[in-house]
Every structure is written in structure tokens, then in C-alpha cells.
């Protein structure tokens, strides 16, 4: 019988243990008064006029809650969403984590957010009136939509 050297046993045991998942005794579910919201704004120039080709920084804040801590075994059958920990709320300056939509389509460009600030920016290539909003994935599935920004580009 071939016995592996001890140097192989420890990594193999650690790999097996890593596959074991411990489930917390308590979970979080949306409380009866649970709400979620997403607010957006644009960093417009002081004069409020958006110029073709200028970059506009987008801002967004997400609010979700309250969450209720319950014993895992006591989650009602009607609850389809449980979490091991509640999402952070409020979730501030998350513009780079959202999907953005604009109408009319086809005449905008977005930057590629990067460190250190991860700013999300938009640039308009054609003058006109625009509507802009953000979409966030909900913590329990399903999307929710922000308010709509409206502005004129000259």
C-alpha cells in the first residue's frame, strides 16, 4: 500500500475543509417596512449648461432596509430572500456599480472608472435634450430604478 508523504496530507486536508461551508445560525430578511431606493445626480458646471464633449460626473446613492435578524429555522415560508448579513445601507457614491440608461440613445460615451475614486462619467456628442437614469440589482434579485435626470446639452 502506497502512503503519501506527510507534506501532501496537510494541503489535502485543508482543501477538504475549505469545501465545508458553515451556515450561520441567524439570517437577515427584509423587515415588514422594507424599502429600497436609488437617487442619482450629475455634477453639472456652475452655470448649469452642459457642453457637447465635456465630461459630466455622475453620482448615485442606494438605500435598502430595514432588515430583520431571525433564526434560520424561523424564516417564514413566504420569505424568498435571506442573507447571511444585510447589505450596507446607505450605499454611497456607487455610480460606477450601476447600469446607466439614456434617451435618446446613441450619442453618449461613458468613461472607464478607475482608482482612486472610481468616478462614473458621461459625455454627450450631440446637442439636445436628454433623460438619464440608473438601474441597480436588488439585494434579493430583481432590478430597481432611480429617479430620472433631465438636462439640455448645447
State the pTM of this model.
0.76
Count of structural domains within the chain: 1
8 Å CB contact between 123 and 102: no
Q: What is the DSSP letter of 115?
A: T
Q: Is residue 66 part of a domain?
A: yes
pLDDT value, residue 37: 93
Question: Does residue 5 have a pLDDT over 60?
Answer: no
Q: What is the DSSP letter of 74?
A: G
pLDDT value, residue 86: 83
Q: Is residue 3 part of a domain?
A: no
Q: Cell digits for 39?
A: 437617487
Order of strands across the sheet with 120-124? 26-43, 55-71, 120-124, 108-110
Residue that is written with C-alpha cell 460615451 in the block: 109
CATH number at residue 79: 2.60.120
Question: Does residue 30 have a pLDDT over 60?
Answer: yes
Question: Does residue 9 have a pLDDT over 60?
Answer: no
pLDDT value, residue 20: 56
Domain residues for the domain of 46 are 24-153
Q: Is residue 125 part of a domain?
A: yes
Question: Model confidence over 10-29: pLDDT tens digits?
Answer: 565 555 555 555 667 899 99
Average pLDDT over every residue of 1-9: 57
Which conformational region is residue 106 in: left (phi greater than 0), alpha (psi within -120 to 50 degrees), or beta? left
The set of residues, in sequence order, having a beta carbon less than 8 Å from that of 113 and lying 6+ positions away, is 96, 119, 120
Q: Is residue 11 part of a domain?
A: no
Which H or E run contains 51? none
Q: Is residue 4 part of a domain?
A: no
Question: Model confidence over 102-143: pLDDT tens digits?
Answer: 999 989 999 998 887 889 999 999 999 999 999 999 888 889
Average pLDDT over every residue of 55-84: 91
Q: Where are the beta strands (DSSP E) in the chain?
A: 26-43, 55-71, 99-103, 108-110, 120-124, 128-137, 143-145, 149-153
Q: Is residue 75 part of a domain?
A: yes
pLDDT value, residue 38: 96
Q: Is residue 71 part of a domain?
A: yes
For the chain, the C-alpha Rg in angstroms (whole number) is 23
Q: Is residue 13 part of a domain?
A: no
Amino acid at each position: 500500500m502506497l502512503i503519501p508523504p506527510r507534506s501532501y496530507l496537510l494541503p489535502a486536508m485543508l482543501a477538504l475543509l475549505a469545501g465545508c461551508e458553515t451556515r450561520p445560525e441567524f439570517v437577515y430578511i427584509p423587515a415588514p417596512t422594507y424599502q429600497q431606493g436609488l437617487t442619482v445626480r450629475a455634477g453639472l458646471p456652475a452655470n448649469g449648461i452642459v457642453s457637447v464633449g465635456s465630461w459630466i460626473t455622475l453620482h448615485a446613492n442606494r438605500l435598502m432596509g430595514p432588515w430583520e435578524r431571525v433564526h434560520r429555522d424561523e424564516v417564514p415560508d413566504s420569505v424568498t430572500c435571506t442573507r447571511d448579513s444585510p447589505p450596507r445601507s446607505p450605499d454611497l457614491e456607487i455610480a460606477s456599480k450601476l447600469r446607466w440608461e439614456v434617451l435618446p440613445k446613441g450619442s453618449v460615451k461613458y468613461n472607464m472608472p478607475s482608482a482612486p475614486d472610481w468616478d462614473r462619467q458621461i459625455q454627450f456628442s450631440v446637442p439636445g435634450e436628454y433623460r438619464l437614469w440608473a438601474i441597480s440589482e436588488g439585494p434579493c434579485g430583481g432590478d430597481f430604478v432611480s429617479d430620472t435626470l433631465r438636462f439640455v446639452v448645447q
